[in-house]
């Protein structure tokens, strides 16, 4: 583990607890994600995966514990969460493209509005990112005219326009027709190959197996098992993970 100790920790989650009213959703969860690492989280529905992911950019407030992004405690006093979020791209299950603007404006909104880039720079960047996800010809189209797979690729491009160092994916392919899953996973694979730090909640076991550096199993608000894909899928130790894998594979 010496090599890991030298690596840069991008996300450090310590003793995270979160509950809705009486329902404990996250129970003392800790995780370090290193620079350039791809971490996949799998687990049954209701296990707390989305909640965990959404705590990392404080889309969800947590009850106790600490989240550090790039060494910065995101809930510390005086921290501007908006500045931290610029560095964390998020991709949602239901895409959440802005319906009131076309693809190009979806991509340009935040960079221009936050004065990170001039209009011209933002446009050039947006076109570059669209090209990267293979949708340069769709820049003037509105979201409701895109297929699911195209929407999700635009959503990824939109997040990339903020030049984030971290990307969070919450079941990015779960709302897609099967024939469109591949194109989105392909974009994610390329991102991973480019060294992006990624946390991916997914039900795509093949993707987790090929693309992840580490896979985690979350159930009942805890990580019950973690490991490299080969041992995780090859020799699962936790009995609930064994059951889960039997069902989904």
Partner 1 sequence: MSKILSTYGPLLLRAMGQTLLLALYGLFFACIIGMIVGIMSVIKNRVCKGIALVFVNLIRGVPMIVLAYFIYFGIPYLWNTILAIGGLTLSALEAGTICLALNCGAYMAEIIRAGIESVDIGQMEAARSLGLPYWRSMQRVILPQAIRTMIPSIINQFIITLKDTSILSVIGFPELVNTAKNVVSKTFMSFQTWAVVGVMYLIVILILQQAAKIVERRLKRGHRSL
Which residues in this chain contact Mg ion in the complex, by CB under 5 A?
50
Residue 51's binding partner among Mg ion, ligand ATP, partner 1, none (Cβ under 5 to 8 angstroms by kind) is ligand ATP
Q: How far is the CB of 89 from partner 1 (least distance, A)?
A: 8
For position 3 contacting ligand ATP by CB under 6 A, the verdict is no
Name the residue nearer to partner 1 (CB basis): 49 or 214.
49
Residue 92's binding partner among partner 1, Mg ion, ligand ATP, none (Cβ under 5 to 8 angstroms by kind) is partner 1
Q: How far is the CB of 50 from Mg ion (least distance, A)?
A: 3
Name the residue nearer to partner 1 (CB basis): 19 or 96.
96
**Residue 191 neighbours by CB distance under 10 Å:** 22
Residues 188, 219 contacting (CB under 8 angstroms): no
CA distance 56 to 87: 12
Name the residue nearer to Mg ion (CB basis): 50 or 139.
50
- The footprint of partner 1 (CB under 8 A) covers 57, 59, 82-86, 88-90, 92, 94, 96-101, 109-110, 113-114, 142, 144, 155, 158-159, 162
Instruction: Give the one residue of 10, 50, 62, 241 binding ligand ATP; rule: CB under 6 A.
Output: 50
- Give the CA radius of gyration of the chain: 18
For position 152 contacting ligand ATP by CB under 6 A, the verdict is no
For position 247 contacting ligand ATP by CB under 6 A, the verdict is no
Residues 26, 52 contacting (CB under 8 angstroms): yes
Name the residue nearer to partner 1 (CB basis): 82 or 239.
82
Name the residue nearer to ligand ATP (CB basis): 40 or 125.
40
Residue 85's binding partner among partner 1, ligand ATP, Mg ion, none (Cβ under 5 to 8 angstroms by kind) is partner 1
For position 199 contacting ligand ATP by CB under 6 A, the verdict is no
CA distance 186 to 192: 10
Binding site for ligand ATP (CB under 6 A): 20, 23, 25, 43, 45-51
């Amino acid at each position: 583990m010496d090599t890991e100790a030298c690596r840069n920790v991008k996300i450090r989650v310590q003793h995270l607890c979160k509950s809705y009213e009486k329902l404990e959703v996250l129970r003392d969860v800790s995780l370090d994600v290193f620079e350039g690492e791809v971490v996949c989280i799998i687990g049954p529905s209701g296990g707390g995966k989305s909640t965990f992911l959404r705590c990392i950019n404080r889309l969800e407030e947590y009850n106790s514990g600490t989240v550090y992004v790039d060494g910065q405690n995101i809930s510390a006093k005086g921290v501007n969460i908006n500045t931290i979020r610029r560095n964390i791209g998020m991709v949602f299950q239901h895409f959440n493209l802005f319906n009131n603007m076309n693809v190009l404006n979806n991509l340009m909104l935040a960079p221009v509005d936050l004065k990170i880039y001039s209009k011209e720079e933002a446009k050039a960047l947006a076109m570059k990112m669209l090209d990267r996800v293979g949708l340069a010809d769709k820049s003037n189209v509105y979201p409701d005219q895109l297929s699911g797979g195209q929407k999700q690729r635009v959503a990824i491009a939109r997040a990339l326009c903020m030049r984030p160092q971290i990307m969070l994916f919450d079941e990015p392919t779960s709302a897609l027709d099967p024939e469109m899953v591949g194109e989105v996973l392909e974009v994610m694979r390329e991102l991973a190959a480019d060294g992006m730090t990624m946390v991916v909640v997914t039900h795509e076991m093949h993707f987790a197996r090929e693309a992840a550096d580490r896979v985690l199993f979350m159930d009942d608000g805890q990580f019950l098992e973690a490991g490299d894909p080969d041992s995780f899928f090859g020799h699962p130790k936790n009995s609930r993970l064994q059951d889960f894998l039997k069902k989904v594979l």
